[in-house]
Amino acid sequence: MTSLAESPAALTRTTMLADVTSAAVLGDVRTWVDAAARLLEPETVVWCDGSDGERRTLVAQMVRTGTLLPLDPTLRPGSYLARSDPDDVARVESRTFICPVDEADAGPTNNWREPDAMRAELDGVFAGAMRGRTLYVVPFSMGPVGGPLSQAGVQLTDSPYVVVSMHVMTRVGSQVLDLIEAGAPFVPAVHSVGAPLRTGDTDVPWPCSPTKYIAHFPETREIWSFGSGYGGNALLGKKCFALRIASVMGRDEGWLAEHMLLIRLTSPQGRRYHVAAAFPSACGKTNLAMLVPTLPGWQVETIGDDIAWLRPGPDGSLRAINPEAGFFGVAPGTGEATNPSAIETIRHDTIFTNVALTDEGDVWWEGLTPEPPAHLVDWTGQDWTPASGRPAAHPNSRFTVAAAQCPTIAPDWSDPEGVVLDALVFGGRRATNVPLVAQAESWEHGVFMGATISSERTAAAEGTVGELRRDPFAMMPFCGYDMADHWAHWLRVGARLDREHRPLVFQVNWFRKDDQGRFLWPGFGENSRVLAWMVDQVDRARGRRTDVGAVTSPVGLLPAPGALDTRGLDLDDDALAQLFEVDPGSWSREADLTEEFFATFGDRVPAALHDRLAHLRAAVTPAEA
């Protein structure tokens, strides 16, 4: 194996990548692939058709090379374990770049590189990057093929693991290529593990490079990823396309690409509601997406667990689809007690990456069972026992599985028309201050809630304990342009919606604690009680109920006494009061921190959000005698 720095060709070719970009702009997919092949120099080019036969062939190939280890077919039918290189285990945010022409468009929360300079730098690593390997051409659709809210892409990759994963996570197939060749626009995405092979070189099960780039070019809609074969670095339909590039597309075209789950909630009376919710990591997003309600008669169906595309409909409503076809879930912490639907989803036909292997040929990770097995092979291939003093599974180990396998999946989850949203929810992980649930007083107030999502650092995380970690709209690592412009775009989209059809906006916090550090709210399935109050508020806003459901507070509308169903919970009046306590002094300090955060974005913060901050200050400031 050779590094590209040793290749004379890599030192002399400085325009080949620009040629690929020029071909991409023309929109002719075959011209683009030919240009990319001249740059990448693969041994073979294979056009993928998305068939089951193609998947089986690639899986068998990866079993032979050691990339995939078959699990016991009686315990985990059709499933495999992959172990990545220890240098390639997660998204590499420090090597993720947003490259608009104007640096200001990237904003202060993105890593910006001047696009021509970035292309010249990438040319030096991509030249000859696929020597000795196969270039797979993967035409894929985000959303149902040909749907009105869907978008097409083509990923070039030299990783069969990526091809098989894209089969699961997107709609791959000849149908997509037919659409593109008929003139449909597509997002061009180039990926290489960055490990070219010379004649006689022996390949490794997980090729990758210590040099990594994940670069996005918003104006040309291009994605270039080098050096990693893992997750969002390599499955370019996911965060790279569905959020970073799609958020720019949405800004330019009047829609939204958001880091949101999507669910259907059905009441005991049979009324359906659709809810999209944004949560930063470790805030209960997947658990809510697959919620099993404890309230009798209520049902939650999963439409999406991670990403939603939202588009104003002709009737002034806001419609949403899940653009993905699979789940790329974090394994640790997922168990029967926390998410029984996820456990049922992954019982078969699943690719597990960087989890532990049991002696019986099944998988295990921390949180799967209350007690670990006596012996495992850990994610690095080493023997492991409970006395080893290290995790058996990597903290970011994953499962890749088709959404259709989820027992709570809605029967029409892939309807190309999407669903009409009734509510939007934002949430962080706060031990203090933020109530269990609050309703925004207006769309502008809702955008303010989304813009100020934060979680408090704990002793287990880097940084000062109690310090706020900001993640506006849960999009901090994923917005492809200036975050304050993203807030302004939300305001513009809201202005296009009919007031009668506009979804209500809520903020939740499942994680408030008492003075002894104990969680006040039981969470998990009991969160259905909060969802029930939200949709009751939707009914009130739509004129379907006339009773009083909420009372005003400085931070929004809170449940009126008795409006939140807490029957059967071990929750006394004092704990309930603490869940909704709004302390003026604490919120005054919160307003100061929000003002500091807004200052990060200079004069791009919309005036409406400054107005909401002023409103909050006035509400928590005692009137002078």
Give the catalytic positions in this structure.
283
- What tokens were used for 464? 């000062």
Look-up of token digits 């699979």: 326
CA-to-CA distance for 55 and 400, rounded, in angstroms?
14
CA-to-CA distance for 470 and 483, rounded, in angstroms?
12
Question: How long, in residues, is the chain?
Answer: 625
Q: How many whole angstroms from its chain centre is CA 110?
A: 17
CA-to-CA distance for 590 and 509, rounded, in angstroms?
16
- Least Cα distance to 452 among 505, 504, 492, 519 occurs for 505
Query: Residue 358 contacts by C-beta under 8 Å, 6 or more apart in sequence?
Result: 364, 373, 376
Measured CA to CA in angstroms, residue 610 lies from 488, 614, 616, 617 at distances of 12, 6, 10, 11
Whether 236 contacts 255, CB under 8 Å: no
Q: How many whole angstroms from its chain centre is CA 219?
A: 22
Sheet holding 419-420, edge to edge: 256-258, 308-312, 318-321, 419-420
CA-to-CA distance for 45 and 137, rounded, in angstroms?
7
Look-up of token digits 């050096």: 227
Work out the number of other CB atoms within 10 angstroms of the CB of residue 481.
Answer: 22
Measured CA to CA in angstroms, residue 336 lies from 375, 386, 396 at distances of 21, 21, 19
Query: Residue 507 contacts by C-beta under 8 Å, 6 or more apart in sequence?
Result: 425, 426, 427, 434, 435, 437, 438, 440, 449, 555, 556
- Least Cα distance to 188 among 220, 229, 212, 213 occurs for 220
